Amino acid sequence: MKNIMIAPSILSADFAKMGAEIERMERAGADMIHCDVMDGMFVPNITFGPKMITDIRKHTSLPLDAHLMVTKPERYVEQFAKAGADYITVHYEASDATLDTLKKIRKLGKKSGLVINPDTAAEVVEDYLEYCDMILVMSVYPGFGGQKYISGSTEKIRKIAKMISERNLDVRLEIDGGITLENISEVLAAGADTIVAGSTVFNSPDPSRTIKLLKSGGVEL
Ligand code: DX5
Ligand code: ZN
């Protein structure tokens, strides 16, 4: 079992105060910063590009997790690597060149991640597992924060956790979308070890307590 990492998603941050928001999350005990890159094409929303990663990099030593919701992400992985992302995660649905892109990310010295959308079967990751440092299961349709967790995602996590442990691979298993203090325990029990949380952490009056609670499965230790 891997250590549990909590990755606040800056989609829920105040973009006009990003440096301070990142520092606030680091002080609150975040393990990683999740950066949602959206191109207005793969998803119906637009956020930011590699310059945001470059600028964030100066405000934290935490690992940066670049979740590329971008059509043909192979066009951009080099720029995100140079900008200082630690994990670069690409969507299975976004390109025909996924395998080459995962290999390229590793060649650039970064951790490679593959993401699947809610309508994509867990089984598709099987062929890519050995080229991945992380698998990300979307538990909402990508594009916006604050949506409701899609309950079938728990079963997908369970299936992928099994694939990873059967093959004895060193792959993190991340979940993204609609994570709350109510559903965190089932997600952890299913085998997720990397938890993206946007609105739950950023809207909390006490992010430090919320992060601790997420890590412990929603109960006070
Ligand atoms: C959705 C993004 C998520 C989002 C999660 O497309 O990939 O990272 O910020 O936000 P919450 O935790 O509020 O569902
Ligand atoms: Zn995300």
3-state secondary structure 178-196: CCCCCCHHHHHHHCCCEEE
Chain segment 156-165, per-residue pLDDT in tens? 999 999 999 9
Chain segment 78-105, per-residue pLDDT in tens? 999 999 999 999 999 999 999 999 999 9
- Check pocket membership of 199 for ligand 1, CB cut-off 6 A: yes
Ligand 1, atom 9: closest residue by C-alpha: 145
Catalytic site includes residue 170: no
- Check pocket membership of 91 for ligand 1, CB cut-off 6 A: no
pTM above 0.95, yes or no: yes
Tell me, what amino acid is at 170? Answer: D
Exposure class string for 147-156: b at 16+ Cβ within 10 A, else e = eebbeebbeb
- Check pocket membership of 24 for ligand 1, CB cut-off 6 A: no
Q: How remote is the CA of residue 148 from the centroid of ligand 1, in Å?
A: 10
Identify the active-site residue in 31, 36, 39, 133: 36
Catalytic site includes residue 176: yes
